[in-house]
A and B are shown apart, each in its own frame.
Chain A
Amino acid sequence: MGAKSASTHTRKEVEGLLSALEEHADGVIESAKRVSTSLAEQEWHAYSGFRSSCDDFDTLAIVIEYRLKNLRGGRDADLEKQFEELQLFMLTAALQASLHFLKILAQKNELPLGSKDIFLGELRSIYRVKNLLELDRFKTKISSRAGHDIETAEEILSVIIERAPSLLQLGVAEES
């Protein structure tokens, strides 16, 4: 690894990456729809595709964030706003999807084989997304629907954690 990169990026290049990010966002939404259907039918295969599309969005967003910092001619408020809006959209959509998946799974007293990893993955995701949405840069901009989803997420996390570790099988003794 060498020293810090000194190269900069053109507005056009970052605009191209933002369009790609928007396409990724559409891909995540489509994938979430497929997961909802498959979870209700106790099939888990679609889930890894959903997680993988979320990860792709996340990776590309990190790349864009750094490129926006190194934009030729200095920072660009319009592009930064567009990027932030897209991130906020994705975070609220991810939170909605996680809440939906967890509701489907939480209706079961015991987690069927194959669904436990999904349950734990969504638990971590909901926690992470909720914390991100509560950051200063997002919390003043979220819609009332998203605000309500954050409250629901907090309630769901509390309920699940009350049922832990029997439900989560965390390797510690059962609750008395």
Chain B
Amino acid sequence: MLLTPDVVAKQSEAQLAKIQEMLVALEAGATTVIGAAREASAEAGEDKYKAYLRFREVVDDFDTLAIVIEYKLKRLKGEKAASLTVKFDELTAFMLSSIIGASLHFLRILSEKTELGFGARDVFKSELRSLYHAKERIRSDRYTGRLNERTQTDLEAAEQILEVVIEKAPRLLRFDDKQE
């Protein structure tokens, strides 16, 4: 097919429509993550972690789709692409804030225990990494100005909790008993 300006414009329109559709799917993915976090958190209080695995799976699905959308958006120019990028950034910022909130909750539940069983230890390590990386990502330039007051408070709490949890980490996680 000859790439005339008309053809290029039509292809670009089709791409934008596809991205819009993906953003709707991403929004649905965000809702699923929030629901899964609630279920996982209720179970973790009772020392059960099956729902937690489901929570991590839906977070992974969200991340994969977000990577695809980011790359597709990078290739497009124009006002509509810019407005979709704003929407995308808002959605990923919202998701990062929710992930930080969920991690804080899980870590609070788990750090109240004096010893962690096998399943709990994996959740603890996974949430430690999740909180650390979400905190690093949300501080990037891309999200400056998009964080609400609640997220700012959560970030301060995250920093404090990481300090405390890491103090207890080798004992609680037993990943390096010989160092203690």
Given A127-B67, A170-B25, A56 and B175 touching (CB < 8 A)? yes
Query: Dominant SS at the B interface?
Result: helix
Residues of B within 8 A of A128 (CB): 133
Q: Which of B68, B132, B160, B167 contacts A170 (CB 8 A)?
A: B68
A residues in contact with B178, CB < 8 Å: 16
Question: How many pairs, one residue from A and one from B, have CB atoms within 8 Å of each other in the complex?
Answer: 86
In the bound complex, residues from chain B placing their C-beta under 8 Å from that of A106 are none
Instruction: Say whether, besides A161-B71, A170-B68, A3 and B160 are in contact (CB < 8 Å).
Output: yes
Q: How far is the CA of A170 from the CA of B126 in the complex (A)?
A: 24
Residue in B18, B129, B167 whose beta carbon sits within 8 Å of that of A59 in the complex:
B129
Contact B166 A67 (CB under 8 A): yes
Number of residues on chain B facing chain A (CB within 8 A): 36
Distance, CA A82 to CA B167, complexed state (A): 21
- Among listed B57-65, B78-86, B145-153, interface-contacting one: B57-65
Contacts A1-B164, A17-B176; A124 near B129 (Cβ below 8 A): no
User: B22 and A172: CB pair below 8 A?
Assistant: yes
Contact with A along B37-70 (1 / 0, CB 8 A): 0000000000000000000000011011101100
Report A-chain residues with C-beta under 8 Å of the C-beta of B87. none
**Chain B residues within 8 Å of A173, by CB:** 21
The answer to whether B111 touches A1, judged by C-beta atoms less than 8 angstroms apart, is yes
Partner of B163, one of A4, A55, A59: A4
Which residues in chain A, 154-176, are within 8 Å of chain B measured between CB atoms? 157-158, 161, 164-165, 168, 170-173, 175-176
In the bound complex, residues from chain B placing their C-beta under 8 Å from that of A1 are: 108, 111, 160-161, 164
Report the bound CA distance from A173 to B176 in whole Å.
Answer: 47
B71 touching A63, Cβ below 8 Å: no
Flag whether A62 is at the interface (Cβ < 8 A).
Answer: yes
Chain A positions within 8 Å of B163 at CB level: 4-5, 66, 70
Measured CB to CB, the residues of A under 8 A from B are 1-5, 7, 13, 16-17, 20, 55-56, 58-60, 62-63, 66-67, 70, 120-121, 123-124, 127-128, 157-158, 161, 164-165, 168, 170-173, 175-176
